[in-house]
Structure 1
Amino acid sequence: MDQTAAMALFALTMSISPGPVNLITLSTGLNLGVRNALGFVSGATAGFTLLLFSIGLGLSAIAQRYGFVIDTLTFLGAGLIVYFGFKLLTSSGDLNEGDHTKPSFWQGAALQWLNPKAWGACIAAVGLFELDQNRTTLYFFVCLYCVICFFGIGSWAVFGSQVERYMGTPNRRRLLNRFLGGTLIFLAVFLLWQQFVR
């Protein structure tokens, strides 16, 4: 497999795999439709791309030198994930009630910088493809990842909008929202557990 194919496969796998960003995108697609999820998807893509570029330029070395930086980011990220989880848990499931606030571009971007999964993916990519050794390769990979990331995260919004067809009643949507909200809160606790307890 050539390096470009390996890079594309890595980007697709990391972008489409379940995580906090994709669960929020799924719930937005379910409750508000694809169009209303695009701002968050764009922000998450931009945030991840900027994080990848920054780590490729050496940000991870600074963060590792000052351990409190990663701890602080993990704590803030868990708080933001709990916020989204709580919003889903308390949602009525009725699409007409207006209790579904659209996550913003900036929330998507910030969540990537506060998401340990995103940091792990960026650090792994920089090491795996030696992006810190060759700026041309770094630029290429960042551009490739940006495109794949947008479609990977966006696919969760499309999936959510398709699931909405089968969630015809507010009760069914409420159950799914509670499941997604509980899953997000569990993920936040798990991230904190991994960072501070293990």
Structure 2
Amino acid sequence: MTALVGFVFLGLFSPGPNVILLTTSGARFGFRATLPHLLGVALGVGFIAFVTGLGLGALIEAFPTLRIVLMIIASLWILSMAWKLWHAKPVQTRDTDRPFTFIQAILFQWVNPKIWAVATSASAIIADLSPMMQATMLAVTFSATNLYVCLFWTYAGSLLRTLLADASKWRIFMHIMAVALAMFSGLVFL
């Protein structure tokens, strides 16, 4: 169990789409406004881990065409988010400027390649369990661990909010986050 928690923690804590989006949302909208996004990520990650434990991850790996289609969709979605970050304004100027909703955050996990990769690898750590036990253990471990990871990165982002009050610093931060996210879209194919 310690090996599983350690692996999941390192896999989820390292920068990826969720970390970048939560940090940016915390900086842009504040901690409280980002909570639905944060909770959606924690629940969505747990759900992906659950279905991976039941065998969906292995099924996707078994069908290369399906895997390629999912990678293309994931890459395009991540690139579109990077584009939005690149063009984000320092202040909320439109009614449509808001963090991800709870449901959007859950749905994003379906095309988040990092979560699929970490969940598939983590399932190998506890492969000797029954599929339902493996799925349940993965779901609980992923959701609980990721809740703390999400809280950390969202709070870290919210602390940056005052530092980024200057429009030029804000633009630099958003461009760095957008480039990091865009770079991750290419890693989908590795």
- Could you state the TM-score of these two structures normalised by the residue count of structure 1? 0.86
Please name the residue that 1:157 is paired with. 154
Matches within 5 A, 1:1-198: 3=1, 5-93=2-90, 95-98=91-94, 100-130=97-127, 133=130, 135-192=132-189, 194=190
Q: Deviations over 1:56-107 (max 9, x none)?
A: 11112321222222112111111221121111111122x2434743112232
Task: Provide the rounded CA distance (Å) in 2 between the counterparts of 1:134 and 1:71.
Answer: 25
Contact 1:56 1:131 (C-alpha < 8 Å) held by counterparts: no
AA aligned opposite 1:89: W
Q: Aligned pair in 2 of structure 1 residues 78, 107: CA closer, same or farther (>3 Å)?
A: farther
Contact 1:49/1:146 (CA < 8 Å) preserved in 2?
yes
CA offset at residue 183 of structure 1?
1.6
Change (3 A) 1:147 1:164: same
Q: CA deviation at 1:137?
A: 4.9
Mark the CA change 1:179 to 1:100 in structure 2 (over 3 Å): closer, same or farther. Answer: farther
Distance between the aligned counterparts of 2:9 and 2:127, measured in 1?
19
Q: Which moved more, 1:164-173 or 1:117-126?
A: 164-173
Cα deviations by residue, 1:27-52 (Å, 9 ceiling, x for unpaired): 00000011121112222222211111
Partner of 1:10, secondary structure, is helix
Distance in 2 (CA, whole Å) between partners of 1:50 and 1:37 is 20
CA RMSD of aligned residues (A): 1.9
> What letter is aligned with 1:155?
F
Gaps of 5+ in 2: none
In 2, Cα distance between equivalents of 1:115 and 1:64 = 15
Flag structure 1 segments of 5+ consecutive residues without an equivalent: none
SS in 2 for 1:41: helix
Q: Is contact 1:126–1:132 with CA below 8 Å preserved after alignment? A: no
Name the CA distance, whole Å, in 2 between partners of 1:60 and 1:88: 30
Aligned length: 189
